[in-house]
Amino acid sequence: MSTSSLSFSSKELQDLALAWVALGVAFAIFFAGGGQRAVSGILQGGIVGPILLSLLTAGMGFLLHEVAHKVVAVRFDQIAEFRADYGMLFLAVVSALAGFIFAAPGAVHHRGRLTRREHGLIALAGPATNAILAFIFVPVFVVGVLLSSEFLALVGSRGLTINLFLATFNMIPFGPLDGKTVLGWSKVAFVAFFVPSVLLTIGAFVSGFGF
């Protein structure tokens, strides 16, 4: 049973907020097509809408992914805090300007003794949160369609697609990604999560849903 309580230091809250805003800006530029033309288009058409859309979809997906890692780590009596990688956040914005996106906003660092199962569950928490968010965005899309709200429908469809992608990408069993840790803990858990995520993500991208 955990004896730790969930808390956030001022530095951690600052890093989470900075990462969220930077990713919101980066993805707004990326979805507008990247480059100077994208920036000009956003400025001419209004900057609030595109950035708000990215904050609610991509930004929220990244933010809650990291918070989920922390929550489960603390549940297992770990000392855990998120730290933003300022260099990678800068790269996210620059890559968006170049027409592609590379986002690695930072990571939750934790210390303490863990079993393989606990380590695997901490890793799985992030992608699992993205999968849950993807399903949450479904009714948002439906409501947007029913209300004829283009913005709300786009929030729902883009939120669904981005979070499916984040769940799948982070479960790739390579390098520092969560999938390698999950696979090392349980092949059954890895396959049960990864295969459906891949199929749903491919379906979303092939259909062009959210773009």
pLDDT band at 206 (very low <50, low <70, confident <90, very high): confident
Q: Kindly name the residue from 66, 81, 118, 150 that is annotated as catalytic.
A: 66
Q: What is the pTM of this model?
A: 0.89
Q: Give every CB contact of residue 148 below 8 A, 6+ residues apart in sequence.
A: none
Please report, for the chain, how many H helices and E strands are present, in that order.
9, 2
CA distance 42 to 33: 10
Reported in sequence order, the residue ranges of the chain that DSSP labels E, i.e. its strands, are 79-84, 106-111
pLDDT in tens, 102-149: 888 899 998 888 999 999 999 999 999 999 999 999 999 999 999 999
**pLDDT tens profile 176-192:** 899 999 999 999 999 99
Region 21-33: mean pLDDT is 86
Q: Which residue in the block uniquely carries the two structure tokens 């780590």? A: 73
Closest CA to 165 of 131, 132, 189: 131
Residue 66 designated active-site: yes
Q: Give per-residue pLDDT as tens, 145-169.
A: 999 999 999 999 999 999 999 999 9
CA trace torsion 202, 163, 136, 151 (10° rounding):
-90
